[in-house]
Structure 1
Amino acid sequence: MKTRVLVVDDSALMRGLLTEMINSAPDMQVVGAAPDAPSAREMIKVLNPDVLTLDVQMPKMDGLEFLERLMRLRPMPVVMVSAYTEAGSNSTLKALELGAVDFIGKPRADGMKSMEDYAEELVDKIRAAKGARLRRQSIPRPPLTATALPAASPAPLARAVASGKIIFVGASTGGTEALKEFLMGIPADCPPILIVQHMPEAFTASFARRLDGLCAPRILESQGNEKIEGGTVYIAPGHSHLQIRRSASGYVTELQATPPVNRHRPSVDVLFDSAASLVGRQAVGVILTGMGKDGAQGLLRMRQAGARTFGQDEASCVVYGMPREAFVVGAVEEQCSLDDMAKRVLQAVSR
C-alpha cells in the first residue's frame, strides 16, 4: 500500500515540483495538490491522505492557522515546507510546536543541494512522518530554577559543574520540541551542555534564540572557540559539525565544515566521538527522538569510555529511530521517558 500524500502550496510550480519528487518514490503517491487551505480542507475529507506537506505562507489562511485547526479537529502527520528566511524559520518552529512532525526548506537553485538530494530528503521525511507518533501541542511551563530543585540538589549540582561534568545531546525528527521539554527541566546553574539537532543552517540561530527565551540556562548557537562554561547550552550551527577541544584554559567548542557523517552535518556521532575521546567518564550522553542511526555508534563509544548514557524510550519519541539504534547496539545504559530525562540526567551528574 503506497503512502497517500496531499501537497498544499500556493505556487503551481512548487506543487508540480513536489508532486514529481514524491511520485518518483515507489512507495508514495500524491493523491491531490491544493493551492490554499480551504481547498486542502475539502480534499482531506474526500481523499483521506496519510501525510500532508504544507506551505507556511499561503493566501486566504496561512499554514500556521490551518495547521492549528487541523491538529485540533483532524490530527494527521504534517511535513512543513518552509522558505529559508528569518520569518520562515520562526514560522516553522511555531509549526513544530503546533504538532507538525518535521519540516524541509523549499528547494533552491543556488547549488546548496542537488534536486536529487532534496527529493531523497523529502521522501525520507514523509516516510518518517507516516510512522510518527503524533504529539499534542505542548503546554508552556516555567523553566526550572535552582530554587525549584529538591533541597539537597543545588550543592551536588554545583560540585558537578566544578568537577568538569559535561552533557552531550543528539536529536533529529521531533527533536526541536523534545529538546525544549528537556531543557525546560534543566536549571540555570547546570553543567555545560552541547547539542546537535539535525536542522538546516538558516534555522539553528532562530532555534537557539527561541530556546534561550524559554529556558533557564543561557542558550546560544555555537560560533566556535567558545570557552565551555557551566550554565550554558551550545547548539551546533546547521552548517558545521560541533565537537569539543582541549585548550590551555579548559575545553572549547570547535566547528568543522568537513563532509557529512551519516548524511548529516552537523552529525551527532562527531559530537559524541569527541566526548568519548576527550571527556570520557566525566561525560553524560543523551540521544533523543529522530530517524536514522546518527549518534548510535558515538554513544556506544562514550559508554565504553566510561560515560553515563541515556536514550529516550519508544513511547515518548515522535520517531523511535536514533534511540532504537543506540539501544540495539548497547550504547544506552538507561532508557527513560522524555518527562523523566532531565531529572535522570541531573541525578547522574550530581553523583
Structure 2
Amino acid sequence: MDVLLAHSLPVRRGRLEARLKSGDGLHLVATARDLTETWDAAEHLRPDVVVISAELAAAEEFDCLGALLDAEGIGCLVLAAAADGASAGATVRSRPGLALLRTEPEAEEFFDLIRRQRRTRPIKAARVKPTTKQVEPAQAFDPQKLILIGSSTGGVDALLKLLTQFPADCPPVVVLQHTGAAFAASLIRLLDSQIPPRVVAATDGMPVQGGHVYMAPGGGEHLELARGTPPRLCLRQGPPISGHVPSVDALFTSARPLAQHCVAAILTGMGRDGAEGLLALRQGGARTIAQDEASAVVYGMPRVAWEIGAAEEQLPLSQIGSRLLKACRA
C-alpha cells in the first residue's frame, strides 16, 4: 500500500521515512514538509494513507485538507508527541475519520495501524448533480434576496451538510470559508460535486445569480460585494482583517448597504472573524443566524457573534439551511 509522510521537522521526518521504508508491504511514495506539499502529493499520487504530524494537523487549513482526503478515500494517521496532547485530540475529534497515535509503538504495531487506515476508494463515475425536491411556485424565492455564510474550523463538513439542503434554483449564496489558497480550487470542486446549486470561484466584477454558490478563489484577496442590479462580487487586495485574508468580516461589512436584502449565517470556527460584520448586517436590517454550541466543532466565531448581539437567533446546524431559505421566500 502507498503511504505519504508529512512532517515539518527534517530530522524527525528523516527517521520516520527510514522506518516506513522498512515496513513490509508499505511503499513510501513521497514526503511533504507542509500542508500545501501534502495536498499536492496526495492529489497527484493518490496514496492509500497519509501519515502526518500533529503540528501540521493542528493548522486551521487542515480542516479543508482532511475533508479533501475523505472525499478521495485516503486514510489519515496523526502522529502526536507528548507535548501535542490536547491540540492533537481536538484535531481528531473534529474529523472522526482520523486516527491518532500518541506514542510511537514498536515497528510492526506502527505498520499495522497504518494498514488499518486504508479505506475503500470511492468509485469515480460520471458526476450527476444532486437534486432536491422542487419548490412549489407559490414558495418561490424573492429575486432580490442574497445568502451570506462565513465559516472556519469545522466549516467544510458544516457547509456540505447545510448546502445539500439548497435546491438548484436557490438564491445567490456567497460563502467565505477559511481554507488556505492551496485548497480553494479543490474545495470548490468538492462542493460542486456534492450539492444541487453550481459552486464557482468568484471573479472580480462577477454579477451574482440564483442557483450559484460563490467562493473566494484563493488568491490572497478579500471577497466583497458591491451594489448593483444584480450585486457584483469584488476581489480586493488588502491587509488581514480580523486576522484573515480573505475575511468573513470583510465580506459581511461590504454587504452592509445591501443588508435589507441579505440573510446571513456564521458557522463553526475559531476566533471572532465575522462577528462584527454580522452585527453591521443586523443593524442594517438583515436576518442573521449563528450556529449553536452543541453542533459547532469550534464554538468561537458564532459565540462572539451571539454575545455581541450580531445574531438574531442560535440554531443547530441541521436547522440553519431551512431557516436561511425560508427567510428568502417571496
Query: What is the TM-score with the length of structure 2 in the denominator?
Result: 0.69
Q: Give the corresponding residue for 2:304.
A: 325
> Counterparts of 1:138-153 in structure 2 under 5 Å?
143-147=130-134, 149=135, 152=136
The answer to whether the 8 Å contact 1:9/1:34 transfers is no
Letter in structure 1 aligned against 2:139? P
Instruction: Note the aligned Cα RMSD (angstroms).
Output: 4.3
Q: How many residues align?
A: 274
Q: Give the corresponding residue for 2:203.
A: 223
Q: Give the corresponding residue for 1:118.
A: none
Q: Give the corresponding residue for 1:341.
A: 320
The answer to whether the 8 Å contact 1:166/1:283 transfers is yes
1:134 is aligned, of 87, 90, 94, to 94
Q: Distance in 1 between matches of 2:19 and 2:317?
A: 33
Sequence identity, in percent?
Answer: 37
The answer to whether the 8 Å contact 1:9/1:15 transfers is no
- Does 2:69 match 1:95? yes
The answer to whether the 8 Å contact 1:37/1:66 transfers is no
Q: CA offset at residue 281 of structure 1?
A: 1.7
Does the C-alpha gap of structure 1 residues 18 and 330 become closer, same or farther in structure 2, counting only changes over 3 Å? farther
> Counterparts of 1:245-264 in structure 2 under 5 Å?
245-247=226-228, 249-264=229-244
Measured against aligned partners, the alpha-carbon deviations of 1:205-250 in whole angstroms (never above 9, x if no partner) come to 1111111111111110111211111111110122111111123x43
The secondary structure found in structure 2 opposite 1:250 is coil
Does the C-alpha gap of structure 1 residues 208 and 18 become closer, same or farther in structure 2, counting only changes over 3 Å? farther
Q: Give the corresponding residue for 2:161.
A: 181
- Does 2:2 match 1:15? no
Q: Give the corresponding residue for 2:221.
A: 240
Does the C-alpha gap of structure 1 residues 144 and 299 become closer, same or farther in structure 2, counting only changes over 3 Å? farther
Does the C-alpha gap of structure 1 residues 313 and 100 become closer, same or farther in structure 2, counting only changes over 3 Å? farther
Q: Distance in 1 between matches of 2:325 and 2:162?
A: 11
Does the C-alpha gap of structure 1 residues 11 and 95 become closer, same or farther in structure 2, counting only changes over 3 Å? closer
Measured against aligned partners, the alpha-carbon deviations of 1:82-105 in whole angstroms (never above 9, x if no partner) come to 9x9xxx99965423668999x9xx
Q: CA offset at residue 339 of structure 1?
A: 1.5
Q: Give the corresponding residue for 2:28.
A: none
Q: Distance in 2 between matches of 1:204 and 1:15?
A: 26
Q: Give the corresponding residue for 2:288.
A: 309
The secondary structure found in structure 2 opposite 1:261 is coil
Letter in structure 2 aligned against 1:172? S
Q: Distance in 2 between matches of 1:64 and 1:310?
A: 39
Letter in structure 1 aligned against 2:132? T
Q: Distance in 1 between matches of 2:225 and 2:263?
A: 14
List alignment gaps of at least 5 residues for structure 2.
24-34, 98-121, 123-128
1:294 is aligned, of 273, 277, 287, to 273
Q: Give the corresponding residue for 1:166.
A: 146
The answer to whether the 8 Å contact 1:208/1:219 transfers is yes
- Does 2:190 match 1:196? no
Q: CA offset at residue 157 of structure 1?
A: 3.1
Does the C-alpha gap of structure 1 residues 64 and 178 become closer, same or farther in structure 2, counting only changes over 3 Å? farther
Q: Give the corresponding residue for 1:65.
A: 49
Q: Distance in 2 between matches of 1:175 and 1:302?
A: 21
The answer to whether the 8 Å contact 1:128/1:291 transfers is no
The answer to whether the 8 Å contact 1:146/1:188 transfers is no
Letter in structure 1 aligned against 2:318? D
- Does 2:139 match 1:156? yes
The answer to whether the 8 Å contact 2:248/2:277 transfers is yes
The answer to whether the 8 Å contact 2:57/2:88 transfers is no
The answer to whether the 8 Å contact 2:50/2:75 transfers is no
Q: CA offset at residue 325 of structure 1?
A: 0.9
Query: What is the TM-score with the length of structure 1 in the denominator?
Result: 0.65
List alignment gaps of at least 5 residues for structure 1.
1-7, 20-32, 42-52, 71-76, 104-122
Does the C-alpha gap of structure 1 residues 181 and 263 become closer, same or farther in structure 2, counting only changes over 3 Å? same
Q: CA offset at residue 269 of structure 1?
A: 0.3
The answer to whether the 8 Å contact 2:49/2:75 transfers is no
The answer to whether the 8 Å contact 2:150/2:274 transfers is yes
Letter in structure 1 aligned against 2:244? H
The secondary structure found in structure 2 opposite 1:350 is coil
Q: Distance in 2 between matches of 1:292 and 1:232?
A: 28
The answer to whether the 8 Å contact 1:191/1:229 transfers is yes
Q: Distance in 2 between matches of 1:298 and 1:128?
A: 31
Letter in structure 1 aligned against 2:329? S
Q: Distance in 2 between matches of 1:90 and 1:308?
A: 28
The secondary structure found in structure 2 opposite 1:316 is coil
Letter in structure 2 aligned against 1:253? L
